[in-house]
Every structure is written in structure tokens, then in C-alpha cells.
Amino acid sequence: MHPQSTSPTLRRAGFTLLELIGVMAVIAILSAAVLPGAIDLIRTQRAVNEGAELPKIAEALKRGMLREQIFPIYENDASFSTEGNNAYWWNLAARHGGGSANEVRYPLGIRPGSEVTRKLYFAEANWGDDNFDGITDNGTSFNYITGDGPAKSSKTATDGWVYPKDPTELRLLLISTTNPDLLLPDELDSDDEFNAFWNEWAVGSDGNPASESEGFEDWSDYGLNEVEWKGRAAELNVQRIDLRDWLCTVVIENQRAIKEASGDEFNDVSAQKTGTLLDDEWDLGTVYAYTTNQLGSEIILQLKEVPDSSDPTVIYTKITNAVLTKRGRVADPNNTVVTIEVRGKKTAQTGTPPSPITSDATATITLTLTDLASIALIYPDNTNIDLYDFVGDPASIENRYFLLHQELLLKEPWTFAEVGIFAITEPFSTLRFDGLQWHY
């Protein structure tokens, strides 16, 4: 007989409802504990990556500005299309190695079209005005801003550098955050906010701005809302772009020169301040001349002997002319009085009976000074713009700032004839007019 076969026992598979609920509860508890830290880690890593990316964008932007000789249009409004005007700063950077326009404009991990964009801020905001130089939508050319050298009086386009001793307006800030809930303003409302970022921005251990000075520890000093940003400074990246390293410093010393004497100075009674005139009768052999506040000048007196009208036996000296045979330079540039002094003795008959009285006599001839020697910046189109002159200063020594390879046309101050071209080939150079000629 064969043994009777029996059916195998079936095992139960899967989880019970209670087991699933238990697993989900554990996952929820673990998520609640781990997720904030994971989010913080993600945010931190994105901020770190963004901090490494900003210098690359900044360098591309600087290359574009220098090569195209423009300041880009100052535009941070997220509603403006990335594919818009080529003079927008992100398009300028994209053309010079920054990546695509979207890659330049939007922080890492931010979807193109988002309101969260990298923002570019100008120290001198109106230099990025799309109509600042009268040409709409092309950016502002370097020549229009830097063309005539240091500023004259007010902040206008034709004044050149706003701060001639240290052109601090040549600074930009590229600022970004990689988190969609942290928005940046389109503009910094004041110079103080820009300078706070430039000079003071650092991140403290508590996630707020840190500073050695007491005045820059408040979020409002940076134009940001403390409620939104408190404890989250590490999520904001600040890249300083200093354009002043492009500049070449030219130390220009410019002294006033002595005009060539026309002859009128020697015959002008009003210019002879002592009352003794050149054509008076001087004692024979006593007349001489010398210059004051001058180096290298030479003067010749043309003399003739004349008899006394009342006593022909008495011979006097008469000056027929004074000739400045060699023009020198001003010895003390802070003193604008430059003269020729003619000295001698005069004898007069006084009393009854008459008796001779001899006294010293002086005639002062005042020479005229020129304006300062003229300098013009040579533009690429071969037009020239005179640099703003040093009005009111008998001698000026100033630092002027130019770009490498720009050229200056030098003129002499008497007829404004062109006498040379100074090419800027070094980061630091000197240019000097000593009252006679240019030295460089």
C-alpha cells in the first residue's frame, strides 16, 4: 500500500496593518530628527558651491567690461528677460567666459525665471544707467566717465572721477543667495549700505553679520530684513569686484610758466610799483638789474648816457629798454609774484643854494605768468579732450588715473603748441612740467 499524501502547510506573507503603522511612526520620528539637519547641510553645501562660483562670474564680468570698455546696464529686476539687452551685466559676463546668461544670472540650484537672481550693485549707481551717456541701452562707455580726469565740483558725467584722490566709485558687489525664500533688494538704498557690505561683511558663529565695529552688526545696515535673514548670514555670498586694479597712476606736477616778455611790461607805469620809472635819469655807472623768484632768467638793460639839461657837464644814465634774453622758471611755485628789479642811485639838487642829495632808487617790473600747461587725453577716434586743469593752484601735484595704453597729448603753455605724447605703459609713472618743459 502507498502512504496517503497530505497537503503542505501554507505560510502567511506581508505585514500586518499594525506593523506598517509602527514602521511609518519610526520613519516619521527619524525624519523629524534628521531632516532639519539634512536641509541645513544641503543649504550649506549649496552656499559653499555658490561661493566658489561667484569669483568666476566676477572675473568674466571684469574681462567683459575691460575688453568692451563699458560699464554694463545696472539691472537687477527679475522680470527682465535673460535674453534681453546685450548690455545687461549677465549678458556681458556670458560673452567673456562666464557661461550662458542663465548660468551667470541665476545661483546654483535656482530655476531660471525665478525671482532669486544674483544681484550686481554699483558704488556709483548712475554709471549703470542705460541713458547715462545719452546713448540708450548700450551701457556707459569708459571714455564718458573717465575722459577728463578728476572731478571738478559736482557728481555729473562730464566731471570724471567723483573721488579724484581715490576713485572708490570703481567698485561693484556681486551678491547672491541660493535659497528661494531669501530675496535680495534690486538696489542698495544708500552708500552706507554698499560700504557696509564692502568693508564690514563677515559671518558670525550665530549666523548673523559679524563685525569688529559696533555700527555694522544690524541687518538693516545692509538693507536686509532681520525677520527674514536672522541667523542665515551663511546663506548669503558677497563677492567684491574692485576695478581700481585696472588703473595706472600718473603723478602729474604742473607749474605755471613765465610768459615771454612783450616789451609792454617795461613801459607800463602801473607795473612799476615804486614810482621810479625806467626812463628817469640815473647816476652814471650805478644801474643794474636782477630777477626775483626766478631760476635761469637773464636780463639785459640797454643804456645811453645823456647830459643834464641844466648842467651839460653832468652826465646821467638813461635806460632805453630792458630785454628778458632768457626766460627761466618760477623758483617758488607757491609765490606767483615774479619780477625784474632795476636798481641804481639818483642825485637831486635841493635847498638854497642847491646841494646834491643822492638816494637809492628802484623800478619794479612785474612779469606775467601763464596758465598751467595743457594736457589732453587722446581718444581712440583721434579726438582729444583736455583734462580738467588745476584752476587756482600756482603749482599742482596730483594723482590722475588712466587705463593702460591710454595716451596723453602734452602742450606748452605759451602758445598751446603740441610738444609730445605720453603713453601710459606702467602701473605708476610721473609727468612733470617744470615751468619750461615737460619731463617724463
Q: Give per-residue pLDDT as tens, 362-371.
A: 888 888 898 8
Confirm if 322 and 340 have CB atoms less than 8 A apart: yes
Residue 293 scores a pLDDT above 90: yes
Contacts of 360 (CB under 8 A, 6+ apart): 343, 344, 345
Contacts of 317 (CB under 8 A, 6+ apart): 281, 282, 283, 284, 285, 286, 287, 303, 304, 305, 306, 344
Average pLDDT on 271-287 reads 72
Confirm if 107 and 184 have CB atoms less than 8 A apart: no
Residue 2: its pLDDT value, please? 52
Residue 119 scores a pLDDT above 80: yes
Higher pLDDT, 157 or 412: 412
Tell me, yes or no, if the pTM score tops 0.75.
Answer: no
Three-class DSSP category at 63: helix
Contacts of 76 (CB under 8 A, 6+ apart): 117, 119, 120, 121, 184, 186, 187
- The band of 81, judged by pLDDT with boundaries at 50, 70 and 90, is confident
- Own/partner long-range contacts of 179-182 (Cβ < 8 Å, ≥24 apart): 179/43, 179/46, 179/116, 179/232, 179/235, 180/110, 180/114, 180/115, 180/116, 181/228, 182/116, 182/228, 182/229, 182/232, 182/235, 182/236
Distance CA 76, CA 172 (A): 13
Contacts of 392 (CB under 8 A, 6+ apart): none
- The band of 397, judged by pLDDT with boundaries at 50, 70 and 90, is confident
Domain boundaries along the sequence of the chain: 17-245, 250-255+371-439, 264-366
Average pLDDT on 85-102 reads 93
Higher pLDDT, 109 or 41: 109
Q: Give per-residue pLDDT as tens, 123-146.
A: 988 788 777 666 677 888 776 666
Handedness of CA 176, 180, 186, 187 (dihedral sign): negative
Distance CA 33, CA 51 (A): 28
Top mean pLDDT of 26-40, 155-169, 320-334 is at: 320-334
Residue 423: its pLDDT value, please? 94
- Degrees, nearest 5: CA angle 85-88-91: 85
Cell of 356: 646834491
Distance CA 2, CA 189 (A): 100
- Torsion angle (degrees, nearest 10) of CA 427, 430, 431, 436: -170
Confirm if 216 and 200 have CB atoms less than 8 A apart: yes
Residue 167: its pLDDT value, please? 81
